[in-house]
Structure 1
Amino acid sequence: MESFQRFANDAATAFSRARQYTEEKIGHSEKTQYDPQFENLQRRADRTKVWTEKLCKQMENVLQPNPTVRMEEFFLEKLDKKKRPRLTNHEVLGQLMTSAGNDYGPNTALGGALIKVGNVQAKIGLSEREFVETSARKFIKPCKTYIENDCKSISKERKLLAVKRLDLDACKSKLKKAVSTEKAQAVIFVILQADNDLRAAQSEFDRQHEITKLMLDGVGSTHTNQLRSLGEFVEAQLKYYLTSYRELIELQKQLNSTDAFAPNATVGTNSTSRDDIANEEMSPLKPAVNVASRAKVLYDYDAANASELSLLADEIITVLAVPGMDEDWIMAERGNQRGKVPTTYIQILS
């Protein structure tokens, strides 16, 4: 009997809420409005949830572009299983280069270069793996925790508040109808009961409103935490790129120090040696193919080393060909400055 009574009460409450909701929609009943501050807190919570989900998803795409691997990692995470160590593409490339270099022979020019480049690729890959792991731990994990825990709790409290608001407005409507009845003496008991129900509903609503407001206020601390996570992500990314940059700069120096990678190095039976070419470049310039000509610079160019000349777009320089120089380059002069420049960056003036 008690369970039946409880079921009947629940059914009556559900019917009352449905009727109140319907009357509000068609404009036959008033609706309690939240204060502007509370509305702003709700909008902030909604924006935070939407953008956190989008940022978290895109961050996962950046850290792991392969959707199949992402799906595998997702299921492993849900099953609480440890992820298998996975080499990055740079590490795989480094291993292949090292293997190829050893097969060609470490003492050969190509073999030695492949081994050097392979070792650097492996280091870059390791740095990339550390960057991915740090970003996942410092940025993605806090975002997911907020979405899966805080957002769900806020949504639950907001739904409960909406229910309490319907109960409150239903009690208000009930009391209003009871008071407006002509036979006031016959409905005194109904009025008193409706007033008591209204007081109880108001108390429940106020309590739930305060709980929900506290939850929404907590979104501010979430913004602070996400700001810190964003800074840690940038720090990890900077470390990754700096490590890669330094390794590549050192690798470039090593490769340029070998004969095989020297600028303008040629292969074959050329009667003009590199020393002869260097001596001619250092000696007073002597036109070989044509006399000195004026040329217009088409694009800015930054010299890669001391033998080259930096250029600024639209400036006029003097150019002339030098025997033995690569056909893609030409010697240029600007005042007391002299150096070779790419032919694609200039236009000879007639």
Structure 2
Amino acid sequence: MLSIGIVGLAAVLVIVISFTHKGRGDRSKLLRYAALTMFVSAVLREAAPMPGHAPIVDLLKRVVFLGTEISAALLVLTFRPGSIAKRTARRFWAAGAAIALIETGLFVVQTGTHGMVDSYHEAVGHPAALAYFGLYETTIIATALIVGSGCWSALMRSGQPIVARVSLLLIAMAAVTTAGYVAMGSLVLIGRDADNDTARQALFLATIGLLLVGLAIGGLRKIVISGKQAIEAIAVDAATDIVEPLWQTAVKLHPNVVLQGTEFSKNERLERLFRLVVETHDALNFIRRDPDEALDDIRKRYTYEPQLTAGLLMHLLGEDNMPGRPSKWACAWRLLRFESQMPDQALMASIADIYAIRWACAFRKEWWIPARLAPPETHL
């Protein structure tokens, strides 16, 4: 049952990492390398004790797991102040290759002597086997120390989000269980404990489980952030659909409010929305303060917003030049309360005013009475 759990958790870890860390940066690549090599190592680890297996499976398991250890160590080092130098990364991989060669040499020596790979219990008294297993345990504890100290250092920094702290804490706990795993293996090698295989497997399972949960939580944070950004983008686009038609109407009367020479890319949609809102309100303020006495009838008849501004626009431009009713997309934006996702609530209040004016224009038949022009004066 433990074997199935170990391989299953390692497989889930690969899937979680693949879906939550799709970037092309060094950290994403190292994380994927670590997850994949851990899965392969876990499969080989469970295949090694099976009857009829080739002895080289044990060596392959340890060489592949070296990739996990180096990826994990480099990943932690990337979070230190200043990015890790490529020369440092090459040194780590070169050290891993050297260790793999040493392990291969020790494997050849002991298989040539005994015809098979000794287990931990049988390694006592055999220098080559002790060195073979001892080197493996040494690389594991070195990796655990690097990962554990890196997580602790990150936890001590202020300003870490709670989700990131939980993720770091779980990975640090995985480093602790790894130390326990190594300690039990070392006891067997020195002949102090002959029956702890089940406990070691349980610690190995706990280590992978803690890593899975820790990395999944970190990935969940990325998903939440990405989802929030996507909702904000939707909110901005829907708000632009509300503002732009009225902007086009208002600036016909006061084109001087439009700042010239500025174009916005798709990534600058929020900046463009700010500009549209500001220019729309500037134009509408000019219209409200227009001293033309011909507008007094509108001001007396409609003393409250949004009918006042909508009435002034219709009087000046004509009903046929008014923007249509807000689109279903804009209505859904209000219905689903997307405005709560807007990054600036003052901006949201301004957009809400524009939205109200749009609806007043759309339903003008229910309240609008065109102003009557005074008859021309006659002189007898």
Q: Same fold (TM over 0.5)?
A: no
Larger Rg: 1
Q: Which has the higher helix share?
A: 2
